[in-house]
Every structure is written in C-alpha cells, then in structure tokens.
Amino acid sequence: MDAATLTYDTLRCAEFEDFPETSEPVWILGRKYSIFTEKDEILADVASRLWFTYRKNFPAIGGTGPTSDTGWGCMLRCGQMIFAQALVCRHLGRDWRWTQRKRQPDSYFSVLHAFLDRKDSYYSIHQIAQMGVGEGKSVGQWYGPNTVAQVLKKLAVFDTWSAVAVHVAMDNTVVMEDIRRLCGSSLPCAGAAASPADADWHWNGFPAGAEASSRPAPWRPLVLLIPLRLGLTDMNAAYAETLKRCFRMPQSLGVIGGKPNSAHYFIGYVGEELIYLDPHTTQPAVQAPEHCRVPDESFHCQHPPSRMSLAELDPSIAVGFFCKTEGDFNDWCQQVKQLCLPGGGLPMFELVERQPSHLACADALNLSLDASDVERLERFFDSEDEDFEILSL
C-alpha cells in the first residue's frame, strides 16, 4: 500500500522505528532530552505538536474543486504544522502538553479550529489553496517552502484573535529594524481590524493599569519565517551544524522542507538525523461545529516520529521562529550573532540592523494583501454560496 493512502488505523498498527540507543542528546524545538532517561518526555513532546496530514472527503475547495489533498497538499500541511506550533506557543506556551482523554483548555480547541478542513477556518487547506492562486499556484498544485510562507503571512491578517506579526525574510537577510517596526505597530496586522480586548500583547513590563501615555509601543508576537536555499541540488554540508543550532534555540518553530515533491515538518534532531512529522498519510476529514470540541486524536502523532539523514535534506527549506516578547527577539538576535563567531558554523542567513541598500525598500518586503487578495478572502469567508468558480485543475 502506498504511504500516501495509508489510513489512520493502519498507521497506528504499523511498526515504527524507535529512537536509537545513543548518548547523543535529542533536541525537539529548543528542548534537550536524553533518550535513556527522558524517552517518555520526548514522546509526550512530539505527541503535543499538532500533526496535519492528507485528508479526504472534506468540502470541495471553492465549491467545485478537490475534496482531498492526497498527492499535492504535503507542503501545505507542513505549513499548517509550523504555523500551528507558533499559535500553540502564542496561546498555550511551549511547555503545554496534550494528553489523550485529558480535558484541554478552550484556547487549544480555538487553535485547532483555525486549521480544520473548511472554508471559514483561518488556515484551512481551503484558505491556503485559494490564497496560493495569488502566488501563481493553481488549486491542487504543489507548493515550495517560500510560497507557503507567503500565503500564511497573508492569511494571518484575518486572524485578529492571535494578532501575530508575520515576517517572511527574503534574500537570506533578516533586518532587525523591519521587524521592530512591524511588531511595534499599533494595529494587529496591516489591513486588519483592531485586536480583541483579550489579546495578550506584551507591554514590556508595564502593569495593566499603567497610563497609556506612559507605555511604550506594544510588542506583537512575532512569527519569523526564513525561506532558504542551502545548496544547488544537494544540501551543502557546511550548513549542517548551523541548521542543528536552529533547533536548539528556544524560539525554534522547526523547519519545513524535505525531499523533492515530498515535504516534511522537521522538529528536531539526534546525532546526524533529523526528526520529523510526516503528512503523507490520508485520514478522513474531521468536521466539528464552530465553538464545539473537536475529536482531536488524529491530530497528534502518538508513535515515535520519523527520522532521516540530514544529508538527504533538499536544499530548499524555510526555518521558523517565534518571539512572543521583544526580549525573546533580542535573545534570538544574540544567538544568531553567535553563529557568526569562529567555530559557530556557516551562517545560513544574514542578520543586519538596517535594510541593505542593494535590497528593495523594507515596505516592499512586507506587503500585506492587495485588493484582489482581500476580495477573494472576504468572498471566501462571507459568501453563503458554495458554487463560485475556482481555477480548473
């Protein structure tokens, strides 16, 4: 049976390779574990990540399009996973753990609802596929890491509950001034409505009752996505140590990439092997009314995760980081600067204070939705009619 058509029940009964018996530490999204003494903690951490796979029998995309993403949606699902990790950190915290049959907070189900396979969920396969049309991708076409990063940035505009600032760093360059300007904005997102009253923005230590005039600009939690190419046809081994260092940062959201036309969500490493969640399993779509608890067992990987040699990684990837506070961002910058020191590994991207003169202006790198994007998404969210046309496949 092809891996892309495995059912969830088949998956649970399959044999999975356990972690190797090694003294090497296991790193999962900024957390360090020992395989000998903390195996249960490793598996609990992995199981707590939201795992999005191919689904079938969901409402047709655009009313007339695909009802399954098997065979084409793996990078879209990986994009969902890396962004879901950001929202889990935003609303639940990195130390939150999912346990089967244990009651979870309402904010967990709110995050999960944002990714369900329906047209009105913020980051559903429907929304990502439709928004990708503006990036030159027809519905049902495979995405690369940069495309899915750009689409997620546009979709986040509508998610005023999370109110995150999404920055996609282009040209292998992260400009600190651009990010501080973006995260210090008084609006939740360019073009979006004001944030809800309960949005817990960070006011740099000022108490809630402080006078507004004495407060500095609030810091919007940052989702930083950095599309990279680490070689021509194969990954340059000189980047290996730097990539591993990224998984050790507490701000790590992991990496999306994989092999040609086969995407994975990488959440850590052990030795010279990357640890990843694999979307190439087809499960039935889960439907749940708004504000209801979602049957969530199939959204969590309850077996040892997959592994692959770091040398097999396709050079086209996107690295993700989440900085909930300005202090988190400043700490991240210091860690990145350490990579440039002798013995720190070959830097994968450049960190600069201001926009280099040879690049486009800062605003051009962080354009929000254009008019066609807004019209398409408003139509998608608000229309009662399921029958409007999409691009033919």
Active-site positions read 74, 278, 280
Contacts of the segment 377-386: beta carbons below 8 A, 24+ positions apart: 377/127, 377/130, 377/131, 377/155, 377/158, 380/119, 380/120, 380/126, 380/127, 380/130, 381/119, 381/120, 381/158, 385/63, 386/59, 386/60, 386/63
CA atoms of 60 and 54, how far apart (whole Å): 14
Q: Are 228 and 172 in contact (CB under 8 A)?
A: yes
Which residues, including other chains, have CB under 8 Å from residue 351's CB and lie 6 or more apart? 173, 174, 176, 333, 336, 337
What are the phi and psi torsion angles at 381 (to 5°)? -75, -40
